Amino acid sequence: MKWMKERDLLIAQTMAFVESVTGKKPDAGQFGANAAVFATPEAAAPVNAPKSAPAAVTMPDIEALLAETIAIAAEPPKLAPIARPEMKLDFQSEIRARVANFRAHQERFSREREAYCSATMAKVQSSLREDTGLPRRGK
């Protein structure tokens, strides 16, 4: 239990330091309902001080702090609904335009492929008609 007493004294020293720097008392609600106990001068005695008189440091009510923390954590944050503009029509029109553009490219590629195939086959057929009398190899 010695470490708990040292912890309490450290908290008291920190609170006293905050008070001396800012010139005002620390907010007791910030640390729970029993945090004001630590700001007493008796509790603010240094850890290495001679033990002439035991400092009366009361422990905070842990169950109350825990219940307070659980109550705060149990409440879900209330978020305002996000205002979204009606973009459904814009998305639909953009998708339709992209699909139409894609189909146009595919039709163009198909026409070019058919034209290339027709031209190549015409060249092959014409070369076969002209060169029918080629000698065979090996005979």
Which tokens hold the place of 125? 């057929």
Whole-prediction pTM = 0.31
**pLDDT per position as a tens digit, 12-57:** 888 888 888 877 765 555 554 444 444 455 545 555 555 555 556 6
Range of the domain at 35: 2-74
Single residue among 49, 74, 99 that ends a domain in this structure:
74
Phi-psi group of 77: left, alpha or beta (phi > 0 → left; psi -120 to 50 → alpha; rest → beta): beta
Q: How many domains, in total, are found in the chain?
A: 2
Least confident stretch, 27-36, 75-84, 112-121, 125-134: 27-36
Single residue among 32, 52, 74 that ends a domain in this structure:
74
Q: Quick one: 47 and 111 in the same domain?
A: no
Q: Quick one: 34 and 68 in the same domain?
A: yes
